[in-house]
Amino acid sequence: MDRYKIFTGNANPVLAEKVCAHLGIPLGKLHLTRFSDGESYVQILENVRGEDVFVVQPTCSPVNTNLMELLIMIDAFKRSSAGRITAVIPYYGYARQDRKDKPRVAITARLVADLITRAGADRILTIDLHANQIVGFFQIPVDHLYAAPVILKFIAEQKFQNLTIVSPDAGGVERARAFAVRINAQLAIVDKRRVAPNVAEIMNVIGDVRGRTCVVVDDIIDTAGTLVNTANSLHEQGAEQIFATCSHAVLSGPALERIENSPLEKVVITDTIPFSADKISSKMIQLSVAELLARAIKNIHKESSVSELFV
């Protein structure tokens, strides 16, 4: 395994091409198409026998289609005698279904982990899982990267004054605290609670944000409801400027409209999920995780440390 190759499906080929550009290697060739009934079909167009193969495929929208593509690609590489197969999943779909929070529901994040493992993946490389315990759902090694270095570099370059990092809920406190410590900023937490079904949430801001620049830190922005409610609460509490960052910009449903009509000045996202033309917004700033992934892939291939990328 003195060589390695990178392949991609249809989920985010632009990101895969950027990773290859950082590594100075061409993107692997394969034929991926769908039959008229929707079935995915994969044929590898070059020899991969004994090689270290990395398959870049976030399981973003359309989630089920991209997941099936990933599984079929892994199976194709396994049957083509690849030496090792690493599934590079910048965004791990179904991650929010990581526990049994209601009676008679599936733990789908575990199911997807089992599917990927059974398909033939030898290793997983991913970014900012929604819950750290998902690493334990796999029976194979998982390299769990964080987009924080990329985002923190951007924040530091802005030279914000009177900066406060804000967690939009109790579950994100650890992430927000890590950001605040790294850049020597204050920390605030938004406590939200629903008083009754279909009744608006009460948002309480814990921490002083009056006259300060606030940066809301989250891992996923989906419909942007929580984010916009948080921004409104900070605005009502006298925050001078409000920004937001996230690793995974799902941006479904009314997300863009909500963001555009909110007091948010800018929303910083990464390219773990492709940023399509229909999601263009004057408030969006996209950063790339391609270099981070490229360095991780190189270290994995060389069997050297990946944890050095966390700093």
Whether the CB-CB separation of 200 and 191 falls below 8 Å is answered with: no
Catalytic residue among 78, 100, 159, 192: 192
pLDDT of residue 310: 72
Other C-beta atoms closer than 10 Å to the C-beta of 155 total 21
E strand or H helix that includes residue 69? helix 63-79
Alpha-carbon gap, residue 122 to 51, rounded angstroms: 13
The tokens describing 260, both together, are 């555009």
Instruction: Provide the pLDDT confidence category of residue 308 given band limits of 50, 70 and 90.
Output: confident
pLDDT of residue 202: 60
pLDDT tens digits along 54-81: 999 999 999 999 999 999 999 999 999 9
Report CA-CA distances (Å) from 209 to 137, 213, 225.
Answer: 38, 8, 21
Residue 91 has pLDDT above 50, yes or no: yes
The tokens describing 15, both together, are 């990101």
The tokens describing 62, both together, are 């359309």
3 state SS for 227-290: HHHHHHHHHHCCCCEEEEEEEEECCCCCHHHHHHCCCCCEEEEECCCCCCHHHCCCCEEEECCH
Residue entry with tokens 């003195």: 2
pLDDT tens digits along 101-129: 889 999 999 999 999 999 999 999 999 99
Side chain identity, residue 254: P
Return phi, psi of residue 213, to 5°.
-90, 120
- Stretch 293-298: mean pLDDT: 97
pLDDT of residue 194: 59
Residues 6+ apart with CB under 8 A from 277: none
Mark whether 192 is an active-site residue.
Answer: yes
